[in-house]
Chain A
Amino acid sequence: MRKEAFLFGYGIQGVSLAKGLRREDFDLHIIEATEEPFSRAKKDGFVNVRLLDVTEDAKLERLDIGDDSYIICVMDDKHLNVFLTLSLRSLFPKTTIVAISDSVHTTEKLKMAGANRIIDLYQVSAAHVHNILQKPIATKLLGSFVSDSYAISFKEMLISPNSYLNGMMTDDVNFSECGVLLLGIIEEESSEKFVFISSGIEHQLHSGDTIICIGYNDDLERFAKGMKESK
């Protein structure tokens, strides 16, 4: 099933986000409050575009956003964005809301309004500048993790019950020989927590755990296929 995403705002951030989401094959709905960006979205070839007064709850409710969907709040008007987040949270309490903030204060407000994940534009960028200054090569690598323009990336892989990895200790698996590196694990019991391999604790892998590896795309694919096999 295709994931559904509701993008509120087709402005500075909205435009490139919408294009990114289209590439990732999302069922994308764009909602705008003003005429000009609305028609721009139409012109850019998006089908599900709606012009809506986002301050009216009744209209928002009619969008009928499911619990598995994603809401992305990136309105150019910061005040409206916080208000919208709050409205959406009250209407759809279980849906994941993601928002972009431009300062510590806005981040705090968005959090209070009920956004699940907030990406602070300036903080992320400032950290990026720091990385470029202090560790240029590592930064290039980091860049390749998160964009599709480089060959090295990361992949999450679920361990199936008949996988040969099931029951093995992380130290006993020679990831390196398969051309991939194990970055971290998400254990089934604590489904939200990402444990870095470099934390130094040895793990036993179980079915239902997710491992995150980095490597060249081909190697990652090969490894993912191989790990499904039994011993």
Chain B
Amino acid sequence: MLSKLIVKFAFFLDGLDSYQKSKKFLFNLLQNPDYPYKRYLDILMIFLILTSVGILIYGVRNPLPEWMDIYDIYVVSIFFLTEYLLRFWVYNDFHKAIIKEYNQSEFLLKRFSLWVPIKTVLKGKLEYITSLTAIIDLLAILPAYRPLRILRIFVLFRVFKLLRYTKSIKQFVEVLADKKFELFTLLLLLLFIVMTAGIALYVFEDKQNENIGTLFDAFYWALVTISSVGYGDISPVTQQGRAVSMLIILSGIAMIAFVTSVIVSAFSEKLDELKENRVVDNINKQDDFIIICGYGQMTKVFLEQEQELGSAYIIIEKDKERVDMATKDGYNAIHEDASKHEVFNRFNIDYANITLLCLTNSDIENIYITLNAKSVSKNIRVIARATDASMEKKFKLAGVDHVLIPNKVTNMMLLISINQPVVYSGIHSILMGRDVAHIDELRVSERSRLIGKEVREINFKLYKILLIGIERGSHSEFIFNPKADRVIEEGDTLVMMGQKISVEYFKESSS
């Protein structure tokens, strides 16, 4: 009876749109690094952490004013607690597990047991609670409990929380984590030397050196010496003790050299990857950007012409030499194979408008990359280069939005130059977008001055512009040479020609 009710409730939750939406929103806010609003939460959390540590330091010497205390206990801690609980909540779903189990048992005609899904979900939740970041989060909340003064020191765990919100620290830890094995081996060796040397010194100098009272003192001396810090508060007095000292100093130098080289090599191995991650992170901050596959002559010329693009593009190239060449030429490039599925997942495909330019000189590759991108997200607009007009159909079938056939364009130009030599320069100017003959389009936005006006009311002649046509809506027919009484509506696109400055002036004054 109870389990039936719970299953019913699970289905009810699953169908509840607002519940799903809010949970998804919170998940994105807390966990999805590509979500545009996550940045604000991160900044807020960093602010809370820094102020709370600031209060801790201030409180060492000064009595804390009441508002600071209230801020520290209530505001900061409540934020942290809420965050902890929300993360706990969004980690996995009870209702989904219940529904899945219920459907399975219906299908297999076996008895439905509520325990199975609950156990799975609880296991997941436990996994969350015992994860390192969750433990740090929990410890960071503890200082709010004032009766125990010692808990104040846990404020420092709030500093560890920064790991979650700042990418560079996270990367640093990740790089070190990659050398876990080497560092762990060195640590064991260090422990071994410290222990042996400590015990040796204790045995040799216990009664003779007044500074060494316990074994702990000897270990302390060994560590201070091996790290080459050497406070000098404890020093050996016997010949044997000094011999141990000499050995431990030598091994200390070797040890430090080892640790340094391990860390340095870890970073140099990861340097390219870190740089590329930075490039990808930067591009993901943009709302609109272009991914260019392949760095060849075409990409080069395109980027040279496209100065206005700024940094809203990224080049993906699988040939390392070409990547280096692109970087040397001053372009943002990463070394990746665009035909791999996970490549496009690195980009902010859910929230950004992405245009993909497949400019490699192989049709097979361009089609494969297109299919790959479209399988990741249908929203990615693809412009691909084809070697021959006969390929166009295949490219369209693969989902390419615009097929670019360099040969076709140049051949057409060449034919015009022979067939209609006088207009060639004119057409060339138009196609190349020269200043004298600029064909451009203007989308009539909701606030445009043009809405509701008839074509004749707009003095295109005054602007020295030729109105060529209007496209109504995004996919409807193009109206060439519209009649004078045609009324301009919101969402129309006017296609016009004129000098670059007149077109720009018109666009500016009609918005």
Query: Which residues does A use to contact B, with CB under 8 Å?
Result: 3, 5, 12-13, 16-17, 20-21, 24, 26, 70, 72, 96, 98, 100, 102-103, 117, 119, 121-138, 140-142, 145-147, 152, 154, 156, 171, 176, 179-184, 186, 191-192, 194, 196-200, 210, 212, 214-216
B420→A156 contact, CB < 8 A: yes
Does any Cβ of A come within 8 Å of B291's Cβ? Answer: no
A192→B427 contact, CB < 8 A: no
List of B residues within 8 angstroms of A196 by Cβ: 426, 429, 436-437, 497, 499
List of B residues within 8 angstroms of A216 by Cβ: 480
Query: Can you spell out 18 A-B residue pairs with CB atoms less than 8 angstroms apart?
Result: A16-B408, A17-B415, A98-B417, A119-B417, A121-B406, A124-B431, A126-B306, A127-B433, A129-B359, A130-B433, A131-B433, A135-B440, A137-B495, A146-B413, A154-B423, A181-B481, A196-B429, A196-B499
List of B residues within 8 angstroms of A145 by Cβ: 427, 430
B495's partner among A17, A121, A141, A191 (CB-CB below 8 A) is: A141
Q: Which residue of chain B is the closest to A179 with respect to CB atoms?
A: B481
A197→B466 contact, CB < 8 A: yes
Tell me the residues in window 280-334 of chain B with beta carbons closer than 8 Å to chain A beta carbons.
Answer: 290, 297-298, 300-302, 304-306
Given A102-B297, A199-B464: A129 and B404 interface contact (C-beta under 8 Å): yes
Q: Which residue of chain A is the closest to B403 with respect to CB atoms?
A: A132
Q: Which residue of chain B is the closest to A141 with respect to CB atoms?
A: B495
Q: Mark B382-424, 1 if CB is under 8 A from A, else 0.
A: 0101011100000000000010101111111111111111111
B423→A132 contact, CB < 8 A: no
A137→B301 contact, CB < 8 A: no
Number of interface residues of B (CB under 8 A): 68
Which of A96, A103, A138, A176 has its CB near the most chain B CB atoms (within 10 A)?
A: A138
B422→A125 contact, CB < 8 A: no
Q: Mark B339-375, 1 if CB is under 8 A from A, else 0.
A: 0000000000000000101010000000000000000
With A192-B425, A200-B464 given, can you name 12 additional A-B contacts, CB distance below 8 Å?
A: A13-B407, A20-B415, A21-B415, A72-B418, A100-B410, A121-B410, A123-B432, A126-B302, A127-B432, A127-B433, A138-B440, A198-B436
Q: Which residue of chain B is the closest to A178 with respect to CB atoms?
A: B481
List of A residues within 8 angstroms of B426 by Cβ: 183-184, 194, 196, 212
List of A residues within 8 angstroms of B302 by Cβ: 125-126, 129-130
A138 smallest CB distance to B (angstroms): 5
A142→B439 contact, CB < 8 A: yes
List of A residues within 8 angstroms of B298 by Cβ: 122, 125-126
Q: Which residue of chain A is the closest to B413 with respect to CB atoms?
A: A119
Given A129-B404, A133-B290: A16 and B422 interface contact (C-beta under 8 Å): no
Does any Cβ of A come within 8 Å of B493's Cβ? Answer: yes
List of B residues within 8 angstroms of A186 by Cβ: 422-423
List of B residues within 8 angstroms of A179 by Cβ: 481
A5→B418 contact, CB < 8 A: yes
List of A residues within 8 angstroms of B422 by Cβ: 156, 186, 191-192, 194, 210
Which of A16, A21, A210, A215 has its CB near the most chain B CB atoms (within 10 A)?
A: A16
Does any Cβ of A come within 8 Å of B441's Cβ? Answer: yes
List of A residues within 8 angstroms of B408 by Cβ: 16, 147
B224 smallest CB distance to A (angstroms): 64
A17→B404 contact, CB < 8 A: no
A192 to B305, CA, bound (A): 27
List of A residues within 8 angstroms of B468 by Cβ: 141, 181, 214
B409's partner among A128, A130, A152, A176 (CB-CB below 8 A) is: A128
List of A residues within 8 angstroms of B406 by Cβ: 121-122, 124-125
List of B residues within 8 angstroms of A5 by Cβ: 418
Q: Which residue of chain B is the closest to A23 with respect to CB atoms?
A: B415
A124 to B407, CA, bound (A): 10
B429 smallest CB distance to A (angstroms): 8
A198 to B478, CA, bound (A): 22
A125 to B413, CA, bound (A): 11
A146 to B414, CA, bound (A): 10
B297's partner among A24, A26, A122, A184 (CB-CB below 8 A) is: A122
Does any Cβ of A come within 8 Å of B156's Cβ? Answer: no
List of A residues within 8 angstroms of B471 by Cβ: 137
Q: Which residue of chain A is the closest to B422 with respect to CB atoms?
A: A186
A141→B436 contact, CB < 8 A: no
List of B residues within 8 angstroms of A98 by Cβ: 414, 417-418
Does any Cβ of A come within 8 Å of B502's Cβ? Answer: yes
List of A residues within 8 angstroms of B484 by Cβ: 176
A140→B481 contact, CB < 8 A: no
A62 to B357, CA, bound (A): 47
A184 smallest CB distance to B (angstroms): 5
* Smallest CB-CB A-B distances: 5 pairs: A194-B426, A126-B302, A198-B498, A200-B464, A125-B406
Given A135-B440, A152-B480, A183-B497: A198 and B423 interface contact (C-beta under 8 Å): no
B427's partner among A127, A141, A146 (CB-CB below 8 A) is: A146
Does any Cβ of A come within 8 Å of B469's Cβ? Answer: yes
A38 smallest CB distance to B (angstroms): 20
A126 to B385, CA, bound (A): 11
A24→B419 contact, CB < 8 A: yes
A47 to B432, CA, bound (A): 36
A137→B493 contact, CB < 8 A: yes
A154 to B423, CA, bound (A): 10
Does any Cβ of A come within 8 Å of B263's Cβ? Answer: no
A140 to B493, CA, bound (A): 13
A142 to B466, CA, bound (A): 15
Given A117-B424, A129-B357, A191-B422: A183 and B466 interface contact (C-beta under 8 Å): yes
B440→A128 contact, CB < 8 A: no
Which of B359, B410, B493, B499 has its CB near the most chain A CB atoms (within 10 A)?
A: B410
Given A122-B301, A198-B498: A127 and B441 interface contact (C-beta under 8 Å): no
Does any Cβ of A come within 8 Å of B7's Cβ? Answer: no
List of B residues within 8 angstroms of A12 by Cβ: 387, 407
Given A197-B466, A198-B502: A17 and B414 interface contact (C-beta under 8 Å): yes
